[in-house]
Structure 1
Amino acid sequence: MPHAQRRLLLATACLAVWGSAAPAWAESNPYYYGGSLGINRVSNIYRSVFSPNDDTVATASLLAGINQPIGRQRVYADVNVNTNRYSKNTDLNNVGYSVKGGLDWSTVERLSGTVSIDNSQALSTYTERTALALRKKNTENNTSLNGVVRVGLVTKYSLEAGAGYRTRRFSADEYAQFEFDQNRFSLGLVYQPSPDLRFGVAGRLTNDKYPAYLPIFNGIPVGNPVDTREFERKDIDFTSRWVASGASTLDGRVSTGRSKVKQGVANDFSGVTGRITWAWQPTAKWNVSSSVSRDTGLESSFNNANTSAEQDRMTNSLQVNANYELTGKVFLTGGASTAKSRRINNDAAGSRVDDRDNAFNLGARWQYSRGITLGCQASKSSRDSSEVRYTFDANSYGCYGQILLY
């Protein structure tokens, strides 16, 4: 084992010992801080079918967060700053971060709402469908801003207005075709006859914009400039939430709408999309969540880690995740997902590309105390495609240690 990995494992053990001697903090404290150390073995970093590249990556993270009620309001935030170091591919070494926060607010009258922000930067997963395999560092930055305002009309009815903004950027020019900006607006009515039942209908307007770019590879142009592409999508969303019992909750959305090309070359879309999520807790030890979705373009990529953000793609997906409390301190986790997508090209022949993305993961963690956790996990992801260049198979496994002080 390389010296760097031995040092990291030793540091993880020392961190756990130090944490066990740390003073106990009252559970009522609204904040936490701490850190984590981990090592992972990855079999195919670049998600390539032609020449997979494996490596060992060590990750150290600093963590902090707050969840503070202030009168009728609540402020919350979670911050993660991490550094990743690769054993062989040192050019991929990077510093990443994620910041999530928000505000839940309400007035003495009938006004309430939420405001949230989510910003992260990390090494790209290299799962986007590029014509040429990229073999260099490529970091991905994602930003999301969302807000909802609710007005209680009468006891069982309320009016909801929402707005959101999303953006994605890459450091590698070869990925410029996958950058985007999205604006969303919605207005609807909610009917809640009981705490366990909720129905809603809303109109939603979405604008997706892919900036102009020049196709290049290793600094050399490999095609003609591509103009800006812009899409306008209008949907009517029918939503519901049903708490069937203390152990089962169903959330659903069925939308009918149309996406039209406002600028650039692409395909229009008209049809039905939606998502159903089921949270099920059959016993005190089991917790299972599952979802089924059908959507297009960007909306699919937000729900599925491996699926592409290409606008002309329709994706059907299924996801299942489970947690099991083996003992009071040992927990097991597992998950599986599959997504089948079809891209209709905007060429004269209307050719298509069919993909099937699959992912599986298993994990176990030991909760020594409220703030000290040791765990291991293994995962596998793969893609079968009608175009061989888009297929890949990747595995990873590793362990970590985490300490949080409250």
Structure 2
Amino acid sequence: MNNNISKCWPAVLLLLTVVSTDSAQADEDDAFSLVTSASWQYQDNVLYLPDGRRPSFFGPDAPRGDHNHNASVGLNFDKRIGRQELSGNITRSMVRYNNLDVLDYDGHNAFASWKWQVGNDLSGQLRYTSRRFLQGFGDFRTVTPNKNLIDAESLRFDAAYSVDAYWALFGSLYQGSTRNQLRVRQGSDSDVDRVEAGVRYKTRGDTVFELLGRDTQGDYPKRLAGLNVTNSFSQKDLEARVRWQPVGHSRLSATIGQSNRKHDEVPERDYEDVYGRVSWEWQPTGHLAVNFLAERQISALDDLLSSYFRTTTYSIAPTWQPTGKLRVDGRLQWVSRDGNGNTFFSQLPPSVQAQLGIDGASVRQEDITTYSLGATWSIQRNLSANAELRHDSRDSSNQFYQYRVRSVSMSLQYLF
């Protein structure tokens, strides 16, 4: 598989530039806007270390906790021309730490989008995204933590065709890539191609049913296939969805699907499992809303004894808006991650595992708890402020992956 997103995205940007230049000549009022923001954050465990561990590898006096400042500036573009809608953004950010300055970095976030419409029945979107960001330390574990910047790009084309008032066909094409700056992480560089197709039925009461299939082909271009390591995979998903609004203040959505992942070089790592999601959005009053979520996800895992994680999530997220300018958001989330599936080593007899120094009972199992409380204040039409308190903790069967993190953050944003 040859994934060349970097060769494709200039054409998308060129299209938006040409059209935006013409539209700016006709109406320069609303097309462009400038966004600036500044934020501050303090974490008492920046590197997500287990209790009692200190980042002594950064020096004898290196603290577990530190605060950072983030300054960003972005340019937005948004223009509707007839039935076509063009939009884009590019934001550059600069993050600086007070003590752990080895983690300082410059990042960016950009996208270009064309929402298109042909006639009354055919519509879709073409979207390109590009990001550079610092990889978090929750799952990125090394004996001596280092800064790893990730460059992620994606190009996606969506289309939908309305057969009649009730039936529609839809599909998408996707290319994505991730690149790791740190050499020890470059084996995780990936290229992904995905094709999706489905059918949608909408009832007279606006309940929506969807059935879709998805085919994914993935490569790890800097990884050599080995005894327990694969450098490519193929995955097929079959998924059913429903969205239902029984009353005006309540919306339900549900998804159930099955993933089947194959590895040509290491078939021992193949797996097949069911995933699903149920979400209930409840708005009892004009000022209060609550979102309830129950979800089971399937994700690949590079581990000696497991080929994938089965992740179960339960969350409650209330939102209270006492005035038109003030919104308070809360979240309570519990996540359980269980290692599943087979590998070359998990299929060895226990006596052989013991000779290799592998504990056959040490399949990873983790419980992650997150709760947060934040508030957003719209000070003026173009000026807003935000503050948040957050607590994250993970208990793991492997002590190396345990952590407790408390943080407080504040930000200010102005739209010119």
Structure richer in strand, relative to its length: 1
Give the one of 55, 75, 90 matched to 1:64: 75
Q: Are 1:51 and 2:54 counterparts?
A: yes
Q: TM-score, normalised by structure 2?
A: 0.79
Per-residue CA distance 1:283-328 (angstroms, 9 max, x = gap): 1112333332212115x9xxxxxxxxx9522111123323211333
Q: Which residue of 1 aligns with 2:41?
A: 40
Aligned with 1:199 (options 194, 202, 209): 209
Q: 1:54 to 1:334 in 2, by over 3 A?
A: same
Report the equivalent of 1:325. 321
1:289 is matched with 291
Residue aligning to 1:208 = 218
Residue in structure 2 matched with residue 95 of structure 1 by the alignment: 106
Q: 2:271 aligns with which of 269, 279, 302?
A: 269
Deviation at 1:390, TM superposition (A): 0.8
Aligned ranges for residues 122-271 of structure 1 at < 5 Å?
122-128=133-139, 130=141, 132-194=142-204, 196-213=206-223, 228-264=230-266, 266-271=268-273
Distance change (3 Å), C-alpha of 1:197 and 1:234: same
CA contact (8 A) 2:191 2:218 kept: yes
Partner in structure 2 of residue 221 of structure 1? none
What pairs with 1:350-389 in structure 2 (closer than 5 Å)? 351=361, 352-389=363-400
Partner secondary structure for residue 363 of structure 1: strand
Amino acid at match of 1:42: Q
Question: Whole-Å Cα distance in 2 between the matches of residues 318 and 209 of structure 1?
Answer: 32
Q: Is the 8 A contact 2:270 2:307 kept in 1?
A: no
1:195-222 CA-partner distances (Å, limit 9, x unpaired) = 62111112211223334448xxxxxxxx
- Label 1:395 to 1:275 Cα distance change in 2 as closer, same or farther (>3 A): same
- Describe the shift of the 1:165–1:322 C-alpha distance in structure 2 as closer, same or farther (beyond 3 A): farther
Supply the AA of the counterpart residue of 2:95. N
Pairwise CA RMSD? 2.5
CA distance, structure 2, for counterparts of residue 177 and residue 321 of structure 1: 36
Q: 1:190 to 1:279 in 2, by over 3 A?
A: same
Query: Do the aligned partners of residues 88 and 257 (structure 1) sit closer, same or farther apart at CA in structure 2, a change above 3 Å counting?
Result: closer
Tell me by how many angstroms 1:393 deviates: 1.1
Corresponding residue SS for 2:137:
coil
CA distance in 2, matches of 1:339, 1:155: 40
Cα offsets for 1:326-374 (capped at 9, x unmatched): 3332221112222211123621256521011222221122211121112
How many Å apart are 1:278 and its aligned residue? Answer: 2.6
Question: 1:171 offset after TM fit, Å?
Answer: 1.4
Distance 1:118-1:377 versus aligned 2 partners, 3 A rule = same
Task: Tell me by how many angstroms 1:109 deviates.
Answer: 4.6
Equivalent pair of 1:150/1:159 in contact (CA under 8 Å): yes
Alpha-carbon separation, structure 2, partners of 1:104 and 1:341: 37
Listed as ranges, the gaps of 5+ residues in structure 2 are 1-28, 56-63, 351-359
Give every structure 1 segment of 4 or more consecutive aligned residues whose post-TM-superposition deviation is greater than 4 Å: 224-228
Q: Which amino acid aligns with 1:150?
A: A
Q: Deviations over 1:20-41 (max 9, x none)?
A: xxxxxxxx83543121112111
Q: Counterpart in 2 of 1:18? A: none
Q: Distance in 1 between matches of 2:167 and 2:204?
A: 11
- Distance in 1 between residues matched to 2:41 and 2:259, nearest whole Å: 43
Equivalent position of 1:334 in the other structure: 330
Distance, in Å, in 2 between the alignment partners of 1:157 and 1:265 is: 40
Query: Is the aligned partner of 1:83 residue 2:85?
Result: no
Residue range with higher mean Cα deviation, 376-385 or 343-352: 343-352
